[in-house]
A = this chain, B = another copy of it.
Amino acid sequence: MNGAQSLIRTLVDSGVEVCFANPGTSEMHFVAALDSVPEMRGVLGLFEGVVTGAADGYARIAGKPAATLLHLGPGLGNGLANLHNARRGYTPIVNIVGDHATYHKKYDAPLESDIPAIASSLQGWVRESDSTKDVGADAAAAVAASMDPPGRVATLVLPADISWGDGGTAVAPIPPRKPQAVAASKVSAVADALRSGEQVALLVGGPACREAGLRAVSRIAAATGAKPLIETFPARLERGAGLPAIERLGYLAEQASYQLSGVKHLVVAGAKSPVSFFAYPGKPSDLVPDGAQVHTLAELDQDVVGALEALADEVAAGVEPVLQEPQRPALPSGPLSAQNWVEVIGALLPERAIISDEANTSGLLLPAATAGAPRHDVLTLTGGAIGQGLPVATGAAVAAPDRPVIALQSDGSALYTISALWTQARENLDVTTVILNNSAYAILRMELQRVGAESGGPKANALLDLSRPDLDFAKIAEGMGVPATRATTAEELADQFKAAIAEPGPHLIDAVVPSMI
């Protein structure tokens, strides 16, 4: 078999069954080899940011990596923003980046590019295959590296001649390392803090955001009075009726400082000690309250859930978690607003939904409105690089074809990776996208004030404004093959949302929701 065939065969044997691809000439042998390995599914994206974001969404739901196929440095560059988000979410991804043939690189042809420099910015795993016979081993190593706790982006650079050369061999999977157990002494030390009588907050993230971790956190909080908090942007948060309802640490430093005020011990497990998302003049970057002590129960590459369960057994033996009762808001009426659109979602969210949440400022009230909805997963904007929501929804739908995916997507952010809609149509994915169309980068209007910049100049405001002309997302979606409607009232949104989730395949609702800001 040639190098490409050995690569794909090894990926499949290692559990990688989907390749989100945007190929070019240097990847043609990989493309041709897809037909020789029936187990590998190829999914075309029309822009690399769609490809990488979809791989991120896929892995968050599947619990294992997808591959991407990218075209040299420019292709990797186009995919970089959503790879940044994946890095911040510790999502395993295996990038295959095609490159010129090894002997061709010295000619500095137009697409010659510094792939290692670009890939190195992701601070993951990077390797260039330098012989066809080793491509299989390189692929197995890439998968293992991506899955090594806590997960990361692995990038394998595949020169065209290594891909087309003969002599490739498939290689057996390399079992990924297990997360390291947390020492009992560490658990006991945190237990002592919880029993100190001083105020404790317990901030958890990563794998602790799923049922087992949440139940342990809830037990600890119920038994000790510690305040439980979930990291601001979890990669995958399980929530809804029947699960503990734990609030997230606020995005705004002001919110987070309020949530943490009075705390003397901050226990972190699978999360970083909290810092401000951005710096603001005269405001602290470190959000740990003055005088508070930070206790790291479990690092992200450790067994976070095991440590939380051990802690719960020590401080909350016999105590049950507090579970959210089923509860939905009433269907609202009247013109759409930031207050009522979330009630529509809360009232109608289908069973077993996956929410891809990039609603940004429009979604401030979403958690409350959906807290008692049927159990669901929420995938958030882990790295702050906007343009993630539609691709992540796309990948999640590939991973879970039996679950409804709901993309709640602000307008400005949607435009970065809008062609994800086409891939949803191509693959007939059951994704309902609701665009929160407020004709503004509303978050930047808020930030302009928060950073203390002189505000209000017409040129500054023009750069934060998405009107002139207004974007018609229904037309854009239809142009990409996705049926679409436009809603301006809560009743319209409810009717359209019901219809969209009732019918398989992708749909888009362009919801005109005025900004709160």
Contacts and interface: CB of A to CB of B under 8 A. Distances in A.
A320 interface: no
A278 interface: yes
A503 interface: no
Interface in A445-485: 447-448, 450-455, 457-460, 462-466, 468-481
A29 interface: yes
A383 interface: yes
A385 B111 contact: yes
A415 B73 contact: no
A74 interface: yes
A110 interface: yes
Interface residues of A, number: 101
A506 to B, nearest CB: 10
A286 interface: yes
A100 B233 CA distance: 19
Copies held by the complex: 2
Contact of A109 (B160, B275, B382, B479): B275
A42 to B, nearest CB: 5
Contacts of A233: 110
Contacts of A25: 277-278, 443-444, 447, 450-451
Contact of A426 (B161, B276, B383, B468): B468
Contacts of A23: 444, 463-464
A104 B279 contact: yes
A468 B279 CA distance: 46
A265 to B, nearest CB: 20
30 contacts: A23-B444, A23-B464, A25-B278, A25-B447, A26-B278, A31-B448, A31-B464, A36-B457, A47-B415, A73-B84, A74-B80, A74-B84, A74-B384, A77-B80, A103-B285, A104-B285, A108-B272, A109-B275, A109-B278, A110-B233, A110-B277, A111-B383, A117-B120, A160-B279, A426-B469, A472-B478, A472-B480, A472-B481, A477-B479, A479-B479
Interface of A: 21, 23-26, 28-29, 31-32, 34-36, 42, 44, 46-47, 49, 73-75, 77-78, 80-81, 84, 88, 100-101, 103-104, 107-111, 113-114, 117-118, 120-121, 123, 160-161, 164, 233, 272, 275-279, 281, 285-286, 382-385, 387, 412, 415-416, 418-419, 422, 425-426, 443-444, 447-448, 450-455, 457-460, 462-466, 468-481
